[in-house]
Amino acid sequence: MTDCKTDRTIIDKTRNRYIKICGLTKLDQAMAIANMGANAIGFICVAKSPRYIDKQAIAAITSRMMANQTDQMLPDFIGVFVNASIAEICETVSYAGLTAVQLHGDESPEFCKDLRSQLINQDLFNIKIIKALRVKDDAGLNQAQLFTDHVDALLLDAYDPHLHGGTGKTINWQMLQSFQPKCPWWLAGGLSPENVAEAIAQVAADGLDVSSGVERSAGDKDLERVAQFLAIAL
Ligand SMILES: O=C(O)c1ccccc1N[C@@H]1O[C@H](COP(=O)(O)O)[C@@H](O)[C@H]1O
């Protein structure tokens, strides 16, 4: 079990944008991406995903990174969950040394509030909560306001009728031009080295999250594409 009582900030205001590279499964790639300056690496804790990684394998990566790297180079370790129970999330956070959780299913604002209490009750302090919303229209955006008191950041992803995430689909960015929730928010969904400059030009997100746009196959990142993405986005 890893010590997860670290205090890394989810939004570093000294930097322009917070960048998360998601869907990591390999230690060497996680280390390389951290050294490139990514603020966070994400692990998909969703058994049905082709990018699934179990808590033992995550712990093997996070513990090696914590042992090897200076604090400055250490990214946030974010676990992505879809409709998992609070008990399962807390257990994975504790075991795998996660510093944040991304809720990518149908979790309610009350669930986020209860999760916060349970994390603290279990001495899992400073674990950030990010609520992902899959938006297709303005109604989806209005829903975002319900979460802002209970989360550290919102993440907007593209809607897909069959998949929860990692779809490579983009949101209609024009719809997001006046999106200004009361908490930080990150843009996700189909970002890539080819389109990230245009995304940045169109929306004022505090952070960016990319997965399939920088990989060779599910869970196997293309480090050249990651470097290209970071060179534009950071
Ligand atoms: O990547 C997955 O397989 C996944 C599965 C279940 C929930 C979320 C998932 N990924 C998240 O999807 C978005 C966007 O990914 P992409 O860049 O469009 O491929 C990202 O937040 C991932 O964390």
User: Which residue ranges make up each domain of the chain?
Assistant: 9-233
pLDDT at residue 12 above 70? Answer: no
pLDDT at 7: 47
Would residue 22 show up in a list of annotated catalytic residues for this protein? yes
Q: Is the pLDDT of residue 53 over 70?
A: yes
DSSP, collapsed to helix, strand or coil, labels residue 130 as strand
pLDDT of residue 11 exceeding 70: no
The mean per-residue pLDDT over the stretch 165-190 comes to: 94
Task: Supply the pLDDT for residue 3.
Answer: 38
Ligand 1: residue of 19, 20, 44 to mutate (most ligand atoms within 8 A of CB) is 44
> Which numbered atom of ligand 1 lies nearest the CA of 211?
17
Residue type, 7: D
CA 72 to ligand 1 center in whole angstroms: 26
Q: Calculate mean pLDDT across residues 96-109.
A: 98
Distance, CA of 218 to CA of 199 (rounded, Å)? 23
One of 22, 45, 90, 183 is an active-site residue; which one? 22
Q: Which of 76, 152, 157, 206 is catalytic?
A: 157
Indicate the length of the chain as a whole number.
234
Average pLDDT, the chain: 92
Question: Of 21-30, 64-73, 133-142, which gets the smallest average pLDDT?
Answer: 64-73
Ligand 1 site: residues with CB under 6 angstroms? 22-23, 42, 44, 46, 49, 51, 80, 82, 104, 155, 157, 164-168, 188-191, 209-213
In the predicted structure, residue 124 carries a pLDDT above the cut 50 = yes
Q: Distance between CA atoms of 30 and 65, rounded to whole angstroms?
A: 8
Residue 224: Cβ-neighbour burial (10 angstroms; 0-12, 13-18, 19+): exposed
Assess whether pLDDT exceeds 90 at residue 209: yes
How much is the pLDDT for 4? 35
> To which residue do tokens 């009582």 refer?
5
Looking at domain 9-233, does it have CATH number 3.20.20.70? yes
Query: Separation of 135 CA from ligand 1 center, angstroms?
Result: 14
Centre of ligand 1 to C-alpha 181, Å, is 22
Give the number of other Cβ atoms within 10 Å of residue 140's Cβ: 15
